[in-house]
Every structure is written in structure tokens, then in C-alpha cells.
């Protein structure tokens, strides 16, 4: 039977509810017009979705349900003007009786239509709650998975957490793209006449290795030398830049870059300037052996929990990057990628070999002083921009330098301009510390500063007199 005729009969059956002919015709015309429009839309949808043609019966059923929906809409709209009612509630009761004759699916569809706004609001709230629940569940799952991986690889920072396997590799996190420093992970794997190979992948070349005088230094605590004997083992690292002429780091300059690197290495060996040099291709060269002092720090000051060190040639190793402070504004721009990696590997080796604390890995610009005018930063290499984090170290620019806090060294406008218009943050803290010391001593800051300058000179001279070395070394150190 033609579905259109069936729909028309269905509408006529409900039209008999209206006793007045004009109301019945109005209902018939409005409902059939809407039914025709709905039929056209359904046919258009059927054309867009060919797979529905294979289920004509399903299509007819959906259309029939939609027709009931249209009938209910028209009844709701026209019912108040239908037969006279004894009360306001009468049309609603009649509508409910008529609706009860319709299929359950149609009644549900119409009920959803009548309460569409509350249902839409409820649906929006339910969707928001569901999405929040899904997000919370995923976040919890990710944290849980990360904790499980951390426990498995032995990197958990929770109190009492222990590695599952002390010999296993450990997980890396986005905050630390390279593994943390572990002394037990670094050892000498292979040693030849011209190179050494280590467990972290570093190779140290000995082509330019030389000797110098043995180390000998004092650690000063509360103004006095700690212990009766000179110390010989290095306790820290000072990082330098070579400040030689730099060529653009491009493939067509490779040969010229190597020629300049060789010239630098020969100059450093003649003058015994550093213990290590890292060239622009990331090759690590030993110059002055670790047991000997190199002429790299001159008049300099640094302090740790053990005490204060002056003249860091003897107490600290000197590591020089072939680079210049004139190139770029940040350490990553001044150093090639190979130098960054090599610097970290060499730092790990030296810290492991000599049990060097992170606190004593610092740069030349932060330790260098000029006793003649009581100024800090006499040499300004790495006074800004050193990539401490890339070396696996804490930021020493936030540490109050002992040159200012203990001895009262200061600075002038020339130094500030040289550093790009500002000093590193630790200087301000050190100035406050020195002012408090002067106040406790009951002296004016300038008078106290003069006394501390003489104390610095006295400690430098005492160290020069006592340390082992060749004749004339004191004069050489004074000139540095």
C-alpha cells in the first residue's frame, strides 16, 4: 500500500477529534503540508545516503514516527481552540488520551521534542562532566605510568624509593635531556699513547699533552689557613673561552677551522694555559696534566663549604672552549653542539676522577678579580651566558661570589657595560653579605673593604711562598 495514503488516513483519524469542521480542516492541511515537506527532506537524505535504499522498511518506519511527531505538534498548537473545554486542564487530558493511542517510540520522540531545552541543558552538563572525567582519568593514568616507569628504571625521587636494578639504564625525562651525573658510571675503558676512551663515550687526545709545576694551595677558613700541609688534588673546574679569531662554523670552512684550532693548541701548550681544550668539532685535548697547575685563573677567588680558595691555578682545573665572548648572546650560540656534548662528558670525567662537587664548577668571569683596583670580573669570559644546565651543573650566576661577599671586591660602569648592562644576580646578594660583615665588625664599609683587600693579597702571597714550584713562579702568577 502506498505509504503516502497510509499517512493521510492516519492524519484523518486524528482529525476526527476536532468537532468543528474549520478546526478539522486546519489540522488536516497543516499536518499534511508538514508531512509532505518532511517526505521531501527524507527523500533528499535518501539520495545522499544510498545505503538507506537497501532498508526501505526501516526508512518508512522512521518516517512514520516522524509523522506522529508532526501530528502531536499540531495537536498541541490547535488543541486550545478545539472544542470548548470545561477547564484549562481539559485539553491536556484529551491530548494525553490521543497520544496514548500512538506507538511508544512516537510518544518518546514527541516527549523529547517538548522538553528539548531542558534535555539540551542536561546533555551539555553531562557531556562536560564526561569529558572532565575522561581527562582526569587519562591524566591519572599518565602519572601512574610515569611513576611505574620511574620505579622500574630507578629514577623515582620519592623518599625511600630504590632502583629496581642498580645496573639498569635509567629513564630520562623532558626536564633533563641527558642522564644525571653518576660517578660510578664513568671509568677509563681504553688507554693508548695518544688517547684515552671513557665509559661515557668521551675520548681525550694527548697529542698536545705537557707537564708543569705540581699543584700546591691552601684552603682558608675564618681568615686562617686550614691544615698544615699544602693540598695537591684539584677541587674544582674553571671554564674559559679561548678568545681567538673565529671563522663561521660552516662546511666550507672545515679545513681552515682545523688549522686555527691547531694553532691555538700549540699556543696553549707553549704557555701551559689550560689543563684541557675543547675545539669547535668537540675534540677534547689534554694540555697540562691534572696533577699540575696550569696558568689559567691568576688572581681569582671562590668558596665552598670547606672554605675559601684564592689563586685558583693550583686548586682548580682549567677547561677552555675554543670560542669567543663576542659571538652571540647565549652560551648555546657561542658553542657548537659538539662542544656542548664534549663539555658535559669531560665535566663528568673530571668530577668522577677527582670527586669534584657541583658547587666548585664555575666560570672564569665569576672568579677573576683585579686586586689593584678591587674590581671583580678582571677577565670576563663566561661572566654571562654559560650553559650550566647543559653541563649537568647548577646555575652559579645565582651564587654570591666570595670575592664580593668576603673580600669586598666591587665593580664599575666599564664592567657593567662590558657585560651587556647588568651583572649576574649573585653579586647583589654578595654585596648585602659584605655590608652585614662590616656592620658586625663595627667598621665603615670602605675601611673594611681596604682591610679585606690586604687580607686577600696576604693570602695570595702566603700561598705563593709555600707552594712547590719552579723559581720565579711567584712573579709569573702576579703578572697573570
Q: Is the model more confident about 318 or about 326?
A: 318
Residues near 384 by beta carbon (within 8 Å), at least 6 away in sequence: 365, 397, 419, 420, 424
CA-to-CA distance for 200 and 203, rounded, in angstroms? 9
Span(s) in the chain for CATH 3.40.80.10: 186-479
- How wide is the angle at C-alpha 272 spanned by C-alphas 404 and 322, nearest 5°? 75
**CB-based burial, 133-158: b 16+ in 10 Å, e otherwise:** eeeeeeeeeeeeeeeeebbebbbbee
pLDDT at 276 over 90: yes
pLDDT digits (tens, 9 = 90+) for 292-315: 999 999 999 999 999 999 999 999
pLDDT score at 94: 56
The CB-based long-range contact list for 71-77 (8 Å cut-off, 24+ gap) reads 71/10, 71/11, 71/14, 71/31, 71/102, 72/99, 72/102, 72/106, 72/110, 72/113, 73/34, 73/110, 73/113, 74/27, 74/30, 74/31, 74/34, 75/14, 75/17, 75/27, 76/114
Percent of the chain at pLDDT > 90 equals 42
- Return the pLDDT at 254: 94
* pLDDT of 353 over the 70 cut: yes
Q: Which residue has the cell 639504564?
A: 169
pLDDT at 383: 92
Burial class (CB in 10 A: 0-12, 13-18, 19+), 127: exposed
Least confident of 8-12, 81-85, 357-361: 81-85
Q: Does residue 196 have a pLDDT over 70?
A: yes
Measuring CA to CA, which residue among 334, 440, 343 is closest to residue 384?
334
> What's 181's DSSP letter?
P
Regarding predicted confidence, which is higher, 271 or 35? Answer: 271
User: What CA–CA distance (Å, rounded) separates 276 from 289?
Assistant: 8
Q: Provide the whole-model pTM.
A: 0.62
CA 51 from centroid of its chain's CA atoms: 53
pLDDT score recorded for residue 465: 84
pLDDT of residue 334: 84
* Residues whose CB is less than 8 angstroms from the CB of residue 408 and which lie 6 or more positions away in sequence, other chains included: 374, 434, 438, 445, 448, 449, 452, 453
- The whole-number average pLDDT for the span 409-430 is 90
User: What integer is the mean pLDDT of 245-258?
Assistant: 93
- CB 278, CB 319: distance < 8 Å: yes
C-alpha cell recorded at residue 166: 642498580
pLDDT at res. 379: 92
For the ranges 93-102, 208-217, 335-344, the lowest mean pLDDT is seen at: 93-102
Report DSSP letters for 451-475, one per residue: HHHHHHHHHHHHHHHHS---TTHHH
pLDDT value for 120 = 75
Q: Residue 16 pLDDT > 70, yes or no? A: no
Confidence band (pLDDT; 50, 70, 90) for 189? Answer: very high
Residue 83 · residue 93 · CB < 8 Å: no
Task: Please tell me the total number of residues recorded for the chain in this structure.
Answer: 480
Q: Where is mean pLDDT largest: 118-122, 263-267, 452-456?
A: 263-267
Looking at residue 453, its pLDDT comes to 87
State phi, psi for 284 to the nearest 5 degrees.
Answer: -100, 125
* pLDDT (average), residues 268-275: 97
- Residue that wins the pLDDT comparison between 184 and 276: 276
Highest averaged pLDDT of the listed ranges 12-21, 71-80, 335-344: 335-344
- All three cell numbers of 380, joined, read 670576563
Percentage of the chain exceeding pLDDT 70: 64
210-220 pLDDT, tens per residue? 999 999 998 98
Q: Which three cell numbers stand for residue 421?
A: 648592562
Fold type of domain 186-479: Lysozyme-like (3.40.80)
Long-range contacts of 77-84 (CB under 8 A, 24+ apart): 78/18, 78/23, 78/26, 78/27, 78/30, 81/23, 82/17, 82/18, 82/19, 82/20, 82/23, 83/18, 83/19, 83/20
Amino acid at each position: 500500500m502506498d505509504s503516502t495514503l497510509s499517512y493521510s488516513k492516519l492524519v484523518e483519524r486524528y482529525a476526527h477529534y476536532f468537532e468543528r469542521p474549520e478546526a478539522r480542516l486546519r489540522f488536516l492541511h497543516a499536518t499534511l503540508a508538514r508531512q509532505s515537506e518532511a517526505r521531501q527532506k527524507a527523500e533528499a537524505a535518501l539520495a545522499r545516503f544510498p545505503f538507506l535504499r537497501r532498508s526501505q522498511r526501516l526508512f518508512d518506519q522512521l518516517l512514520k514516527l516522524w509523522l506522529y511527531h508532526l501530528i502531536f505538534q499540531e495537536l498541541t498548537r490547535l488543541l486550545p481552540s478545539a472544542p470548548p473545554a470545561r477547564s484549562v486542564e481539559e485539553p491536556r487530558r484529551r491530548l494525553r488520551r490521543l497520544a496514548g493511542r500512538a506507538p511508544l517510540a512516537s510518544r518518546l520522540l514527541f516527549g523529547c521534542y517538548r522538553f528539548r531545552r531542558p534535555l539540551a541543558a542536561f546533555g551539555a552538563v553531562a557531556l562536560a562532566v564526561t569529558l572532565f572525567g575522561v581527562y582526569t582519568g587519562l591524566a591519572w593514568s599518565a602519572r601512574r605510568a610515569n611513576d611505574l616507569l620511574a620505579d622500574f628504571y630507578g629514577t623515582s625521587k620519592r623518599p625511600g624509593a630504590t632502583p629496581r636494578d642498580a645496573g639498569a639504564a635509567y629513564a630520562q625525562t623532558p626536564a633533563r635531556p641527558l642522564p644525571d651525573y653518576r660517578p660510578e658510571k664513568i671509568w677509563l675503558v681504553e688507554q693508548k699513547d695518544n688517547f684515552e676512551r671513557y665509559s661515557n663515550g668521551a675520548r681525550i687526545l694527548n697529542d698536545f699533552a705537557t707537564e708543569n709545576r705540581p699543584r700546591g694551595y691552601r684552603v682558608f677558613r675564618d681568615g686562617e689557613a686550614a691544615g698544615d700541609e699544602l693540598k695537591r688534588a684539584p677541587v674544582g673546574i674553571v671554564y674559559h673561552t679561548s678568545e681567538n679569531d673565529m671563522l663561521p662554523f660552516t662546511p666550507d670552512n672545515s679545513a681552515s677551522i682545523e688549522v686555527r684550532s691547531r694553532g691555538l693548541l700549540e699556543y696553549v701548550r707553549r704557555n701551559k694555559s689550560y689543563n684541557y681544550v675543547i675545539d669547535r668539532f668537540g675534540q677534547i685535548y689534554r694540555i697540562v696534566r691534572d696533577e699540575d697547575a696550569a696558568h689559567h685563573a691568576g688572581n681569582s677567588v671562590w668558596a665552598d663549604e670547606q672554605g675559601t680558595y684564592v689563586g685558583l691555578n693550583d686548586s682548580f682545573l682549567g677547561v677552555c672552549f675554543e670560542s669567543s665572548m663576542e659571538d652571540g648572546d647565549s652560551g648555546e650560540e657561542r658553542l657548537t653542539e659538539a662542544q656542548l656534548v664534549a663539555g658535559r662528558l669531560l665535566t663528568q670525567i673530571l668530577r668522577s676522577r677527582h670527586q669534584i662537587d657541583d658547587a666548585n664548577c664555575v666560570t672564569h668571569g665569576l672568579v677573576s678579580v683585579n686586586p689593584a683596583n678591587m674590581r671583580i670580573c678582571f677577565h670576563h669570559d663566561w661572566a654571562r651566558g654559560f650553559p650550566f644546565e647543559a653541563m649537568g651543573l647548577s646555575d652559579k650566576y645565582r651564587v654570591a661570589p666570595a670575592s664580593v661577599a668576603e673580600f669586598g671586591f666591587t665593580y664599575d660602569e666599564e664592567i657593567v657595560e662590558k657585560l651587556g648592562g647588568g651583572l649576574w644576580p649573585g653579586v647583589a646578594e654578595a654585596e648585602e653579605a659584605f655590608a652585614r660583615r662590616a656592620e658586625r665588625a663595627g667598621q665603615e664599609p670602605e675601611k673594611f673593604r681596604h682591610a679585606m683587600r690586604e687580607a686577600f693579597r696576604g693570602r695570595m702571597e702566603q700561598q705563593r711562598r709555600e707552594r712547590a714550584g719552579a723559581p720565579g713562579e711567584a712573579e709569573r702568577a702576579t703578572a697573570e
